[in-house]
Every structure is written in structure tokens, then in C-alpha cells.
Structure 1
Amino acid sequence: MSNAIESRLAELGITLPVAAAPAANYVPFVVSGNMVFVSGQVSQDANGLVKGKLGDDMEIEAGAAAAKLCAIGLLAQAKAACGGDLSKLKRVVKLNGFVNSTGDFTDQPKVVNGASDFLVEVLGDAGRHARSAVSAAALPFGVAVEIEAIFEIA
């Protein structure tokens, strides 16, 4: 399956980054049995952090793109947790999405869809998952989105 996942990522023009190191006193993931719990991945790309507040200085489409970046980071961490072998990844179990948004912004699910849609695009049915999409008054470093995940592995 690793070849299938890696091939699909290549088809989409996506190269997984090196899994990000933690920014504080925590580990990037914990493997417990056949589950991998990945710490929150913030919206960032090769140019740095993607910052913004939905409902203020960022539109839904840009927020969804930021959420997709979080999902790319989640896959990078899952790959690291699997010893570099994505064939061990069985499915995405759950995402918890946090959207930096104003008090009156109510489209958090549309923002987090950027991550959900990407994971299904890459993994097919194995990418379908349970999910929460909630507002946050602020996120670390002013990022637009932070998402944590639970994966099942072989």
C-alpha cells in the first residue's frame, strides 16, 4: 500500500516534508497498540507558517488550503511513526480540527474539509474518518489551523 499511497501523493504533486519536531515539551506522536496519536500539526508550508483568522483576514478557501497543509503534516508524522513505511497505514480514524476564527464565524467544518477532502483523495475509503471542527480564539504562533489525528496501523 505504501507504493499506492506514495504513488498517489506523487500524482497529486505532493512531497511529504520531514516530520516536524515538537515546538514544546511533547512528542510528535505516540504509538499505542495499533493506533497512532499524532500531535496537532499547524498550517505551514515551505515558506513558513500560514497565519490568519477566519472571519477577519482570511477567507474559507484559504483556510481550507491551510487545513490541507495540516493534513500533509499529519501524513508525514504517520509515516515517521510507521518507520517510513506508509504501507502500515490502515486508515484515518479521527481528526480534531481547530480553526483560528472570530466569535461570529461558523464555517469551521468548511475549513477543516480541506484536510478531510485531501486525506480521502490520497487514501480513498481508508481516509474517511470521524471528525470535530471547532473554533479557537487564537492558535499557537497565530496560525490559521491546527489539526491532530488518530490513525490505525498494521
Structure 2
Amino acid sequence: QLPFVDGKLTATGLLGRDVSIEVAAKAAGICAVNVLAQVQKACEGDLERIIRCVRLGGFVASVPDFFDHPKVVNGASDLMGEILGDRGVHARAAVGVASLPMNACVEVEAVFAVR
């Protein structure tokens, strides 16, 4: 999921050039909200059906010499913990990429175990 709010991207560009870590981490949290919205839809509106977040992956668009990708993806991981508590603890990858769709600065994916 990308950091969309009301159909608009909240942050675009590359980390290390156009976007701060703080702005991108907030955008990663928005991505996580959008991921959870999709899970909620798949679970017929019931987030209690989530057993746990198994894995979360974050893709961070950045310049070649940017190395703080985990700090950006923390925005998504922290949100999973806030919303799901212990069920939000997950394995994780934070990967730097040259570009993302629509010039988004971050994209988040996740795998959930559900009832």
C-alpha cells in the first residue's frame, strides 16, 4: 500500500534528497493504516480475526547513499504494534529502492495470519 489519504499521496520523492525521515516515517504509518484497511475488508470488517502480523515489508525510495531505511519503516511497524498490540509483532524487511509507483517515498506490504 502507498501513503494515500483521501485519494492523494501524502509524501513523494526520494529520501536523502526530497523527503525527511520524519515525514517518510509518518507516511509509512499511513501505508500501514491502508494495509490494515485491506485486511479488515478481507475479514468482513472484523480486525479481531487477525491472529498476528507475520511479516511486514517496507520499500523506501532513496538516493544511493541513504542508509536509514529502517527508521522510515519503523513508522509502519510502530503503528502495527499500537493497533494490534502483541498481535502486531512481526518479522520485517526495510529495502531501499530507486523509485516507487507515482513517485511515492514509501510502500508497505504485510502478511497476516487470520481466522
Bin for the TM-score computed over the shorter chain: over 0.9
Percent of pairs identical after alignment? 51
The secondary structure found in structure 1 opposite 2:17 is: coil
Q: How far apart are 1:96 and its partner, in Å?
A: 1.0
Q: Is the 8 A contact 1:119 1:128 kept in 2?
A: yes
Q: TM-score, normalised by structure 1?
A: 0.72
Q: Is the 8 A contact 1:53 1:144 kept in 2?
A: yes
Q: How far apart are 1:57 and its partner, in Å?
A: 0.9
Say which of 69, 91, 97 aligns to 2:30: 69
> Residue 52 of structure 1 aligns with which residue?
13
Instruction: Name the CA distance, whole Å, in 1 between partners of 2:35 and 2:22.
Output: 20
Say which of 74, 85, 88 aligns to 2:49: 88
Q: Is the 8 A contact 1:43 1:51 kept in 2?
A: no
- Larger mean CA deviation between 78-87 and 137-146 belongs to 78-87
Instruction: Name the CA distance, whole Å, in 2 between partners of 1:71 and 1:129.
Output: 13
Q: TM-score, normalised by structure 2?
A: 0.95
Larger RCO (CA under 8 A, 6+ residues apart) = 2
Unpaired segments ≥5 residues, structure 1: 1-40
AA aligned to 1:65 is: K
Matched pairs, number = 114
The secondary structure found in structure 2 opposite 1:42 is: coil
Unpaired segments ≥5 residues, structure 2: none
RMSD of aligned residue pairs (Cα, Å): 0.9
Rg comparison, structure with higher value: 1
